[in-house]
Every structure is written in C-alpha cells, then in structure tokens.
Amino acid sequence: MSALLNSTQSMIHEAYNYYLWTLSLADHRTRGWPLVDSPMPTVLYTALYLAIVRTGPRLMKNRQPFRLTWALIPYNLSMAALNFYIASELLSASTKLKYSYVCQPITRLSHPEELRIANAVWWYYVSKLIEFCDTFFFILRKKENQLTFLHVYHHSTMFSLWWIGIKWVPSGSTFLPAMANSFIHVLMYTY
C-alpha cells in the first residue's frame, strides 16, 4: 500500500512539475491578459457549458419554445462585427509583417503589428466563449435537431484549444485559421 501511495504521489509531483515547465514556455506578451494565465476559467466555463447542454433540454421539455428574435438580431450583428474586426486586424497586421500563408514561424517580438496579431487572437479566443450562446439559443428555442454531437463537441473544444493558442502561440501560423474562420463567421452571422 505504501509503495502505491508513494508511486501516486511521485506521479502527481512529476505532472505538476511538467505543468510548471509548460508555463515557463508560455508567451510573455499575453501574461496577465484576462482568462489567459490559468486554465481554470476555460475549464470551468466549458464544464458549465456542458452542464447547460445536458440539463437545458430537460428543463425546456414541457415548456413552449422562446421567441428570441429580439435577442438574436443584435447578437448576430454584434458577432458579425466582432468577427469582422478580428479578421481585418489579422489580415492587416499579417500583411504589414509579410506573414507567410504556408508556414509562419512563431516570433515573440513586441513589435506593434505582432501585438495586434496577439490581441486579435485573444479576441478570437473570447469569441469562442461568446459563441456558447449559439447553443443556448438552440436550447431555449427548442431546436434540438441542431444540437448535434458535432455542434457541442466543436463549441466545447474550440474554446479550450484557443486558450492553448493564446497562452503559447498567439502569433506565427496561428493567425491564419483564426482569420479564415472569422471571415466565415462574418458571413454566417450576417446571414
């Protein structure tokens, strides 16, 4: 029993040391930015999202669907505007820096255009949190046919994956998928 306890304690200690080592590799430019320093806010928001996905349809089962046009129109317009801002910032800054669309190395420079890219990637990460509302609107409007495994998987993982992006690689080739996806979201939310 003592050997098992020591082995478990050693494994936890090694995992914690590995976590501390990964933190030492984090990009210094985003240190102190909201939601970036610790994984806990991202984990907690994602867990809350999944709890709402699990309980929301049950709570709505015997209720009439909500008509949310009053909320959906401003939400969609503001999300289109946010995604347009992100995409245009990434396009402008990456063009000025002559970024490659094939493979852009990570730089940790405090150049103003590099910081614009990091800032836009942070906003992209935050937009993934705001997009949880897409699912909540489906639940409140009783659109369970749109509440697919793929939808929930996509929304719950994108927020976590982009936390990794903003924590460790808020520049380099990270800009391209954020820029392309933001342009697509402008079209989606405008429609």
Catalytic residue IDs: 154
Structure tokens at 160: 């976590």
State whether the Cα torsion 150-148-161-83 is positive or negative: positive
Residue 101 CA to residue 89 CA, distance in Å, equals 15
Q: Minimal CA–CA distance to 46: which of 149, 127, 159?
A: 159
Q: Are 104 and 116 in contact (CB under 8 A)?
A: no
Residues written for the chain: 191
| CA neighbours closer than 13 Å in the CB half-sphere of residue 152 | 18
Q: Which two tokens stand for residue 152?
A: 């929930």
Going from the C-alpha of 14 to that of each of 7, 9, 17, 37, 129, the distances in angstroms are 10, 9, 5, 21, 31
Euclidean distance between CA atoms 128 and 124, whole angstroms? 7
Picking from 145, 86, 92, 155, the residue whose alpha carbon sits closest to that of residue 120 is 86
